[in-house]
Amino acid sequence: MARIFSRQIDEFHGKLIYELDHFLEEGDDYRISEKAVYVYYQPSPERLKQADKNADDVNLYKKKILAFYPSWVSKTPNTPEKADLLTIYPINTVPNDDFMQPKYVHIESITLIGFDYGIPENIEEVEEILKDYLPSGFVKDYDHGLGLLNDYRFIVNAIEENKEINKLIISKYEKSHIESCIDNETSLEFTLNYYEYEAIRKGINRISTNFQSEARKDKSIFAYNALLNTINPEQYPEKYRTYKKDTIFKFISSNDIQQADLSVADQKEIINLISKNKNTLAKHQPKELMKLHDDIELVTLENLIQRFEEKLSKNLTESHWQKLFSENWFILNLAFGYPIIKIGEQSCVGGRTISGKGEKITDFLVKNNHTNNTALIEIKTPCTKLLHETAYRESVYAPSKELSGSINQVLDQRYKFQKQIATLKDNSKIYDFESYSVSCVLIIGKTPEDDNRKKSFELFRGNSKDIQIITFDELLEKLKQLHDFLLSDDQIESN
């Protein structure tokens, strides 16, 4: 026989319906009669109207939200053979599109084991259990759909990463684990040890408290600066947040951050922070700072190689390549066997001054950092043809007019520069460069793929004694070799 009670607090509050039922458990050598209680939630007509539902028959919207019944649990150490269970079926009671539907996406029920609730005799006892005896972190007002409080929704969200889990069990006896549901082997249930649940809940509380405290400080400083500093900066100097030692360490270690998707603002501030503290870091963390420096060099070089490769596949102008080399000056250093520094770019080498208007302009004017001997660098494009399309004789190809013209252009720049260097020095007021033996470097084209063309190009280049000819793909290969060297050196240091 089932006994049914109901109670409604006010016109907007929903109604609880209590049903007491008996069931019979029989085995080969035993016969047990038990009773169970099922509690249903029935929304008020006023709540149904808010949800645009038909309020004429409220019974249509009755949903089971609680079940009290005795059940056997797994026989693990310190586990009783038999324990009362309370199962909660969280629902959404907010009058929206999901009204009276399950509160969570996959989790249909939350079962509590080991709390000794017993079997309530009436609605009053049910309400007393909800109000006074549910674990911390649970919704205790059935009109709010029960389940976990919003602050702890992350527990359910994390478990629901496995879409096959539709039952959550919080047990004082069992260890946390996942297993197949007894009544449905196609679904899974997640058993969470109660004491682990409490640790997680308190951890979430600590995070919330810390951020709330920091937010209060930020709000106070913001209000002060907006109200007082804006009106009278001299009397009310701007306030800033003070840094507490180990703040960064505590935040990162407590949150186990391995890799972060940093915003542009975060990226800039992290770089600025390291830059401003570089002397302190060099003094107290020299190995770590050097390791960071090496890692940055490797990553920067890898990005540069990738960009270089992408640009080689495009038909870009000379000015585009000049800009790339200007921003990454060390690439041009790879073309020399000695250290160089830049005197100027787009420099006049046959006019009034180095930086003024003149007859001849070289892309880069550089000098040996130790001897001050100068060199001229002329940049063309990777698409510039190096050889004629047709052979001059069998398997022999003549240099293209673009290559020959570029060589004459650089040689003419050198001639003008050597002739007028004294005037250039005097007019520019720059005296620390010399023309002892002016080197000329021409960066042009890509290495031919055909063997006969390679031979012709090398024969021509090898006999161009007054000018060094380097192709763009050779520069790229130098970058890759440098990367491999740095990477192998880094690995040796690590070992």
pTM above 0.85, yes or no: no
Q: What is the pLDDT of residue 296?
A: 67
Q: How far is CA 26 from CA 29, 82, 85, in A?
A: 8, 16, 20
Q: What is the pLDDT of residue 469?
A: 93
> Rounded mean pLDDT of the chain?
81
Give buried/exposed letters for 392-405 (b at 16+ CB in 10 A, else e): eeeeebebbebbee
How far is residue 192's CA from residue 178's CA, in Å, rounded to a whole number? 9
Q: What is the pLDDT of residue 73?
A: 42
Average pLDDT over residues 110-119: 89
Cβ atoms of 109 and 156 within 8 Å: the answer is no
pLDDT tens per residue, range 63-90: 999 999 776 544 445 555 556 789 999 9
Task: Determine the Cα angle at 486 with ends 481 and 488, to 5°.
Answer: 95
Type of residue found at 326 = S
Average pLDDT over residues 4-9: 50
Q: Which CATH architecture is the domain 314-485 placed in?
A: 3-Layer(aba) Sandwich (3.40)
Local confidence band at 30 (pLDDT 50, 70, 90 cut-offs): very low
Residues in the chain: 495
pLDDT tens per residue, range 151-189: 999 999 999 999 999 999 999 988 999 988 776 667 899
Q: How far is CA 296 from CA 180, 285, 293, in A?
A: 48, 16, 5
Q: What is the pLDDT of residue 31?
A: 44
Q: Percent of the chain having pLDDT more than 70? A: 81
Residue 64's beta-bridge partner residues?
A: 40
Cβ atoms of 180 and 188 within 8 Å: the answer is yes
pLDDT higher than threshold 60 for residue 252: no
pLDDT higher than threshold 90 for residue 405: yes
Structural domain boundaries of the chain?
Answer: 3-202, 259-313, 314-485
